[in-house]
Chains A and B, each alone.
Chain A
Amino acid sequence: MESNLNPVPHPMETNISALFTSPQPHKEFVDDLAMKLHFQYLELKSTPIEIYPPKERWFLSLRRKLQARPILLILSILIAMLVLTGVVYAVGRLSGYIPGFGFTNSSQSVYVLDVPVKQDAGQVIFELTQAVSDDEKTWVKLRVENLPEEPHFSSAYLRLEDGTQFERILGHTEFLDGVSTLAYSFAPLPGENTQLTLVITDLLDSAVEIPFSFRPIRDGEMLPVVELGNYPLYSDAQQGLQLSLDYVAPASDRTVFQVTVHFEQPNTMIIGPWMVSLQDQNGMVYPLTDITPSNVDRNKSALFQTSAFAGNESLILKLRNDMQLENKINIMRDYSPDPGKFMFDFGDNPQPGQVWELDEQVQVGDATLHVVRAELLGGNELSFEFSADPNVTAVILYAEVPGIRSARSRPPVENQNFSSVIGFQQLPMEPFEIQIRSVFRTISGVWQVEWTPPAAPLETSTQLFPTATASTLITPTPTVEIEDALYLEVKRLSDQFDAPYQQGPGWVHIVTEQHSKVKEGQLLPPAYFKTNEWYEVDVDGYIQRSLYTDYTENGTILQQVATIGNYSINFTFGGGGYNETDLRLLSLDRLNESFQHADEYKSEISGEEVDCQDGKHCLLISVKDVLEQPVQESGSEKSISGIVLKVWIDLQTGLQFKYESIYLYDDGSEEVRTTRQVLLVEKVELAPEEVVGILDRVVLP
């Protein structure tokens, strides 16, 4: 078969390069480390003593972050009560609760801004007008003129004279007639710190530093009150977890908001990606784009943008984590300070495959785990099996012996026992203590915030729900002239089937189902799922918009992806971005590419006429790719030597209605790994309202 292939990089290669090279270190980190290294350099130059920080210090910083969460929760709740603005209260009334300031019991501990501070950064003028500090909190308020664009949120911290930094807890932004008002709250300051610097980190290209002074409040002096809006709003706390809607910033064409997850117990976190979904009272979905900046701890908080609102919607914001199971969240709690413990002894001359029957009850926090057996795997790995526990999905083990190499655990399949593996460089010769330091759970509940959003600013837009428009860039699907009889027959059949669906404008609806072999412990994809695809095509058959939904047998959505022009957004996992590909012509043909690249990949393509189900007469196409070297399959003894794609084509309609992916193994065996079948292809004038509604609400970045 002849081909004159274009040397365009394979899409996998383009993506792999982007995947590995895109993350860059934060500039703040780069600069901060450069400075620390410089000081270290000077120290080392004056003395050869090793004084670089031990690694424990670095880990400590992470633990501190985790332990700070309950403090944040308390402060957030207090500040949620701030509703009044422009009101002042006399110090004499500080013995009780003061709206806008919380509980304060001693005027001696209250500090206020000594004098307002005005500072320029190029054309931008900052004026720090108010600041208050007491035992409960610290907050500052400033006015900013001539910002190049309307700010949504900004990050800030307070720096004390000794260099200690206090990160912003809450922030509020107002923008009117080109003037912004920014307010930030911080944790209470230690001791009598009167000389501080407010550092605003992401408002301009470089950080803005504004030094200011506190002084003790005077007798009879009035205390200013800051408004941080009606937020945060909190979900009910269930199973020790709470969701908050922290801030909302309406703009003319979009709404930006921040959400945070809070845990009652310290050292707890959600495992795996978490998202929120946004629906109105009628179940209409509002697509969300995750725009969390890199300096926000995504484990804890996330920023999203969605369409602009009229201001009268009743919305429900709901926390999601496990895409397969509705209303379930996977969490992990670290018990390192007080781990569960049990002893284990390899005995003499342990061998791979050796099994030890055990009966150990281990208490970890409020869970009692039952260890039933251990098995020595290859590579000095020891696997412990635990009895099934409805509240525990996995544990991570540790041992205070030299040479711990790895630790891993997998969720159980359904209600079976689960196992946890610990790896050693060398097996301990003496009895040693195994510690259970982390416990993974799946908690059930509904974490949702009911919310009426702010209206988009009226003066800036007349279109509250802008419909994203597709790019007009259209390129035809590249084809290579191939004079192969089989290829020409396959192309004739696919063209025959595609032709009526390419005559737009209209909507094409495709439903498929897929059966797959799944590995032990595999959650996604499930062994069976359906896919519902909606394509809006233009008059020439090019896809303008599409909505792609995978769902389980019982209708639970596994993932949903919308594409507008060449911009795609994954509502389930939060990914989004512009595809490098141009607009595609609607086609159900999956074989064209195989024929196009057959020579390059040395594919063997064959065809035969066969009788199919329902009395259909079919053309069965087989595309066989043989690997240059067998590849060991992960978790298997066998190696894959090749892959065969089988496609059944209905000779009457031309539809490629069934696909099979088959692995060939080096021992001569083969296995069908995936079967996908087309259940429905139809063309309609208009897609259902919920489909069009979702696509209409996609906001292009």
Chain B
Amino acid sequence: MTDYSNLEDSQLIANIRQDAKAFDALYHRYLPRLYRYCLQRVGNAHQAEDITAQVFFEVLEKLMNGKYRETGSFPAWLFTIARRRVIDVYREPNPDTLEETISIHPDFSSLMEDRDQQRQLYYLINELDEERKELLRMRFAAELSFEEIAELDGRNPAAVKMAIYRTLDQLRVRWEQLYGK
């Protein structure tokens, strides 16, 4: 019996029409990353689940019907679809999404010292512009490599790497401004 969990993405995709377990392996490989990315985008677990499900149904349909062309990496393709579905949500006037668009606490960071740091970091990240926030989501929630993010954004990997480091540098400075080093 083939152990699909050890196969490369491209090998799994090649086997999908022959064996459901190949897609199952792909599903379990990317589900946590996709879900976390969606959750970071929409901020609501129910919606993140909805979008994650939509993306996987769409991916399955495209893979089964030969609509996936292996010209790049699978995760870059997967997260391109995810981005589109997230944008669909923003088009929908759904209350769960709208909650996130209201800036109730735009800058709460300087209130606390070194307590409850993750919550404070959340506010610091919210101070970033959308491009930088998206880079952090791609890097840390989706766990994409610099090359995969570059492919997704149509940029040079070195430029992506530099942009992420600058973003972290910016966060570090803000962090230290608030909490000391």
Contact = CB atoms under 8 A, between A and B. Distances in A.
Contact of A410 (B24, B85, B102): B102
B153 interface: no
B117 A269 contact: no
A643 B177 CA distance: 8
A396 B92 contact: no
Interface stretch (B4-12, B34-42, B74-82): B34-42
Interface in B12-66: 17, 20, 23-24, 27-28, 31-32, 35-36, 39-40, 45-54, 56-58, 60-61, 64-65
Interface in B94-116: 94-96, 98-99, 101-108, 110-116
Majority secondary structure, A binding face: mixed
Contacts of A238: none
B20 A438 contact: no
B173 interface: yes
A194 interface: no
Given A52-B60, A524-B111, A674-B110, A24 B32 contact: yes
B65 A525 contact: no
Interface in A280-295: 294
Contacts of A11: 114, 117, 175, 179
Contacts of B45: 23, 26, 294
Contact of B93 (A25, A407, A573): A407
Nearest to B65: A48
B65 A52 contact: no
Interface in A391-429: 394, 396, 398, 404-411
Nearest to A272: B104
B31 A30 contact: yes
Given A396-B93, A516-B110, A561 B115 contact: yes
B169 A627 contact: yes
A34 interface: yes
A438 B20 CA distance: 43
A336 B93 contact: yes
B90 interface: yes
Nearest to B50: A58
A404 B94 CA distance: 14
A79 interface: no
B116 A272 contact: no
Contacts of A410: 102-103
A33 B56 contact: yes
B102 A62 contact: no
A582 to B, nearest CB: 13
A37 B116 contact: no
B180 interface: yes
B170 interface: yes
Contacts of B46: 61-62, 65, 297
A308 B173 CA distance: 43
Interface in B126-153: 127-129, 136-137, 140-141, 143
Contacts of A594: 180-181
B166 interface: yes
Nearest to A632: B129
A632 B104 CA distance: 22
Which one of B91, B112, B116 has the highest number of Cβ atoms from chain A below 10 Å of its Cβ? B116
A594 B180 CA distance: 7
A256 to B, nearest CB: 22
A18 interface: yes
Contact of B102 (A30, A34, A411): A411
B107 A394 contact: no
A104 interface: no
Contacts of A518: 107
Contact of A44 (B32, B65, B105, B171): B65
Contacts of B102: 271, 332, 394, 396, 408-411, 440
A629 B136 CA distance: 18
Interface in A53-79: 53, 55, 58-59, 61-62, 65-66
A173 to B, nearest CB: 25
A24 B181 CA distance: 31
Contacts of A525: 107-108, 110-111
B39 A23 contact: yes
Contact of B98 (A21, A332, A519): A332
Given A25-B52, A44-B64, A396 B116 contact: no
A36 interface: yes
B104 A404 contact: no
A59 B42 CA distance: 13
Given A593-B180, A627-B173, A407 B104 contact: no
Interface string A575-592: 100010100000000100
A555 B138 CA distance: 42
Which one of A17, A44, A50, A66 has the highest number of Cβ atoms from chain B below 10 Å of its Cβ? A44
A648 B99 CA distance: 42
Nearest to B104: A272
B23 A41 contact: yes
A373 B168 CA distance: 39
Contacts of B95: 66, 267, 269, 332, 334, 438
B100 to A, nearest CB: 10
A64 B18 CA distance: 38
Contacts of A629: 166, 169
B87 interface: yes
B68 interface: no
Interface string A524-567: 11000100000000000000000010100000001101010000
A66 B85 CA distance: 22
Which one of A525, A563, A597, A661 has the highest number of Cβ atoms from chain B below 10 Å of its Cβ? A525
Given A15-B121, A440-B102, A629-B166, A29 B113 contact: no
Interface string A504-528: 0000000000101011011111000
Contacts of B122: 19
A467 interface: no
A396 B60 contact: no
A36 B176 CA distance: 47
Contacts of B119: 570, 573, 575
B168 A13 contact: yes
A570 B116 CA distance: 7
A343 interface: no
A637 B10 CA distance: 45
B51 to A, nearest CB: 8
A590 B179 CA distance: 9
A524 B108 contact: yes
B54 A601 contact: no
Closest 6 pairs between A and B when the two form their complex, measured CB to CB: A20-B140, A52-B57, A593-B181, A58-B50, A437-B93, A12-B175
22 contacts: A15-B118, A16-B168, A26-B49, A29-B49, A33-B27, A33-B49, A38-B24, A44-B65, A58-B50, A330-B104, A404-B90, A407-B98, A409-B101, A410-B102, A523-B106, A548-B112, A568-B115, A570-B115, A575-B118, A625-B173, A628-B169, A643-B173
Given A23-B39, A406-B90, 16 more contacts: A15-B117, A15-B118, A18-B118, A19-B140, A24-B36, A25-B48, A34-B28, A50-B65, A55-B54, A62-B94, A267-B95, A269-B99, A332-B98, A523-B105, A575-B118, A590-B180
Interface of A: 10-13, 15-21, 23-26, 29-30, 33-34, 36-38, 40-42, 44-45, 48, 50, 52-53, 55, 58-59, 61-62, 65-66, 267, 269, 271-272, 294, 297, 330, 332, 334, 336, 394, 396, 398, 404-411, 435, 437-438, 440, 514, 516, 518-519, 521-525, 529, 548, 550, 558-559, 561, 563, 568, 570, 573, 575, 579, 581, 590, 593-594, 596-597, 601, 625, 627-629, 631-632, 634, 643, 645, 661, 674
